[in-house]
Structure 1
Amino acid sequence: MIDLTELYVEIDDFCRKFCDDLNQHLVGNGKTIAVDTPGLNLSEVLTILIYYHFSKFDCLKHYYLIKMRAGYKKEFPKLPLYNRFVERIKEVWWLAALYLQYRQVKFSGMGYIDSTPLKVSHNKRTNSHKVFKFVATLGKSSMGWFYGFKLHIICDLTGNIIKCNITHGAANDLKTGKEMMKDLNGKIFADKGYIGKKEFLELLNKGLILVTGIKKKMKNRLLEMWDKVLLKKRSLIESIFNVMKNSLHLEHSRHRSVINAGVYYITTVIAYTWKPNKPAVKFNSKEIKLLQSLSLMN
């Protein structure tokens, strides 16, 4: 469990600094953007939302009523009723998005890319679903058909988030991944869903090598030995998705607002960046010896 005070201090410092910098460049009738608002300030609202993902509650309402209003009344003396708090969530979507960018790490030269489905309802209720009627779509993953969105992530070898994106369920992984990888230089390892000769050459010309496996009917191609080892470690990003879904409550079907759902997804990824023990690539003794021999040869 992370420290609530430490979380709030960093979020509050970030929000105040960003708003101060933004206000210096605003041109208009003298209005400014302020963190302090009546009742809870924006930093407190964002902190409560992020801290929820570390709780054992699988329902935001129960967490707010039992954990926050009963257990953290001293820390948050101006906690409103739950319905009012839900209304306040819409006010922090832009701060949550900016803070997520702040928490992302720089690309070190090697990483993984993949996507995971975010289901918003059962497939049988797709036609009757109303909340995401005009934004969610029917998509297909390795686990079958689903109705909702996709979370795309690029991570490094130590499990840190480099970039992320949320698209509709039918979005093409390769096209979305190409847009996310266009400013990176180095190597990205991906599954067979990211195979594309045109996209590979375009990324290669920009300084990025996209390493994927091959399909059954494709001609075999030579890979460096170390690339083969790292390609087999692609399960790292699956472990990240597993942590987000099973530990941080990323996916559920109780959303009643498109904007609030977006904030929920963003704060889940932010919560993951705060986890002290993230999944990371681990090498066995044979792989370590191989790495040492390759380094000696170079």
Structure 2
Amino acid sequence: MNILELFCDVDDFCQTLPPVHLWLTKPALPEQVGHSRQLRNRPTGLYLSEIMTILIAFHQSSYRHFKAYYTTEILEHGKADFPKAPNYSRFVELMPRALLHLVTYLYRRLGTCTGISFVDSTKLDVCRLKRMNTHRVFKENAALGKTSMGWFYGFKLHLICNDTGELLWVGLTPGNADDRTALRDFFQHDLFSLFGKLFADRGYISQALVTELLKEHQVALHTRLRKNMKCAVPVLSEDALFLRKRAIIESVIDQLKNISQIEHSRHRSPVNFMVNLVCGLIAYSRQPKKPSLIPEAGPLKLVA
């Protein structure tokens, strides 16, 4: 999809939402209230839909750094499409204005549950471990955590996808959060609906969680057992097959990190970190081809 088609889709979405002029004219951060220095709120030549288009288009491109993309594709080659685009520093100041609309746009692009879902989490590093004690940007939010790949400092991104690779739910927690607790929090929200079977890795093993999801939400949670555990209930061959096909969500995470670029350690603002993360998720949701399970004449086959 070219940038014109992307802009038309984003602009049509923005037309369905109420204007946010009053929200933009008020201080966005609590610490700005009562500030001794006069705060400026200069108007911009870009519409909100244009800001969103540039941010999403970057995550759909092959550029690894946003500054290189903006200065090359927007300021040099994109003058005809964005004649009033400001310089790079000014655009970075405008990025937080689009966060509210980006989150709403992502929510509207979530897929629908098909009865077969997969859940997993992945780490999002914000700095190297040796710089953890001097890190300031996410000092109040990030935490030290551990995965099967080792220790890290940052956040955990929790995902649920269906058998066609569409995102059904996205959650963000500190790095030391338990995956089972995050899954419980997901079912507390009425905005999301899940039914059928949910397949997870060994990090979600909990008999109490299995009973709770089945009794209160009619969702059957299936996980692989550890080597020292005995199977109390026989596992159906169909469920064992889907457990082996849980690699679909690993493929989704791989594309989010290596193609949509949701993870890097150059953030200088928590708000812009959220903008980068949400835009990466939107860019993935707009991919024409996603990892999926396609039933054929024989057993299910994982394709990308």
2:227 is equivalent to residue 216 of structure 1: yes
- Render the CA deviation track for 1:29-53: whole Å, top value 9, x for unaligned: x95889xx63111111111011001
| Percentage of matched positions with identical amino acids | 40
SS in 2 for 1:223: coil
- Aligned with residue 203 of structure 2, among 193, 197, 203: 193
- Render the CA deviation track for 1:96-131: whole Å, top value 9, x for unaligned: 111110000121211100000000111111111111
SS in 1 for 2:120: strand
Q: Which amino acid aligns with 2:245?
A: K
Map residues 1-298 of structure 1 onto 2, 5 A cutoff: 2-19=1-18, 38-181=44-187, 183-205=193-215, 206-220=217-231, 221-282=233-294, 286-287=298-299
Aligned residues: 277
| Equivalent residue, structure 2, for 1:27 | none
| Equivalent residue, structure 1, for 2:33 | none
Give the structure with the larger helix fraction: 1
Measure the CA separation in 2 of the matches of 1:200 and 1:75: 52
Deviation at 1:217, TM superposition (A): 2.0
Residues 19 and 33, structure 1, Cα contact 8 Å, conserved in 2: no
SS in 1 for 2:117: strand
Measure the CA separation in 1 of the matches of 2:227 and 2:94: 52
Deviation at 1:239, TM superposition (A): 0.5
Deviation at 1:285, TM superposition (A): 5.5
| Equivalent residue, structure 1, for 2:37 | none
- Render the CA deviation track for 1:203-230: whole Å, top value 9, x for unaligned: 1012110111111222123111111101
Q: Which amino acid aligns with 1:213?
A: R
Q: Which amino acid aligns with 1:118?
A: L
Unmatched 5+ stretches in structure 2: 26-42
Question: Cα RMSD between the aligned structures?
Answer: 1.9
Q: Which amino acid aligns with 1:105?
A: G
- Render the CA deviation track for 1:83-104: whole Å, top value 9, x for unaligned: 1100001111111111110000
Measure the CA separation in 2 of the matches of 1:158 and 1:229: 16
Measure the CA separation in 2 of the matches of 1:287 and 1:181: 31
| Equivalent residue, structure 1, for 2:30 | none
Residues 114 and 191, structure 1, Cα contact 8 Å, conserved in 2: yes
- Render the CA deviation track for 1:37-80: whole Å, top value 9, x for unaligned: 63111111111011001222111111100111111111111100
